[in-house]
Amino acid sequence: MKGLERAKTRLRGAADGGIGDPERHASLALALALDTLEAAAAATLVAEIVVVTDDARVATELTSMVGSARFASAGTGVRIVRDEPAGGLNAALLHGAGALSPSLPRAALQADLPALKPAELDEALSCPDRAFVADAAGIGTTLLLAPAGTPLDPHFGGASAAAHTASGARPLPGALPGLRRDVDTEADLAEACVLGVGIRTSGLLVCR
């Protein structure tokens, strides 16, 4: 996850009626990520989550959330690792994957899926192949899967769905609306709200 001051720039103003207050915007970016994380932790096929970030506020809020009784019931381990490569999203994802055992399947999940439902993630994770979930527009990628012993080989950014297909990953079928609905713009956010976002995003009163 990027530092909050650099995250989700196209959403600036979405949380405060267009004013664009930096604190309000940071709170929205953080809410999107924490709602995504909580949904992922509740998926039955997720054993451990690694969050790659250098943002101190993200780390503090995440630590607090993981220590809460609500989160503890999920029973999923969560670790925070610093973005030591500092080379962009794909380098960060490879760094995070390297913190997990190569003997286990791994998945790279974007942090802007506030309408994600645990059952959707379980459906995708049940695929035994190297595969990916395209975003709602069919251009980007929200999830990349790699079986045990297979390199993750991420190609996020831009037309990543085509890039992942070219790399040998297969696109997963199915509706998976919350898993496909990443949030980059206010229109995306409105669609996510219709699907039903997590408590942190909805608590910012952005669903109007």
pLDDT higher than 70, residue 206: no
Helix residue spans in 43-159 (DSSP H):
56-66, 69-72, 89-98, 118-125
- pLDDT at position 74 is 67
Number of alpha carbons in the 13 Å side-chain half-sphere of residue 54: 13
Place of tokens 């950014």: 157
Q: Name the burial class of residue 60, with classes exposed (0-12), middle (13-18) and buried (19+) by CB atoms within 10 angstroms of its CB.
A: exposed
Find the range with the poorest average confidence among 16-25, 108-117, 185-194: 16-25
**pTM (2 d.p.):** 0.94
Range 156-175 average pLDDT: 98
pLDDT higher than 60, residue 208: no
pLDDT mean across residues, the chain: 93
186: how many CB neighbours lie within 10 A of its CB?
Answer: 16
List pLDDT tens digits, range 118-163. 999 999 999 999 999 999 999 999 999 999 999 999 999 999 999 9
List pLDDT tens digits, range 76-94. 889 999 999 999 999 999 9
List pLDDT tens digits, range 58-78. 999 998 988 876 677 666 889
124 and 145 in contact (C-beta within 8 Å)?
Answer: yes
Give residue 70's Cα distance to chain centre.
Answer: 20
* Share of residues in the chain with pLDDT > 70 (%): 95
Range 86-105 average pLDDT: 94
- pLDDT at position 71 is 73
φ and ψ of 131, to 5 deg? -150, 175
Q: Please give the single-letter amino acid code of residue 202.
A: S
Range 96-114 average pLDDT: 94
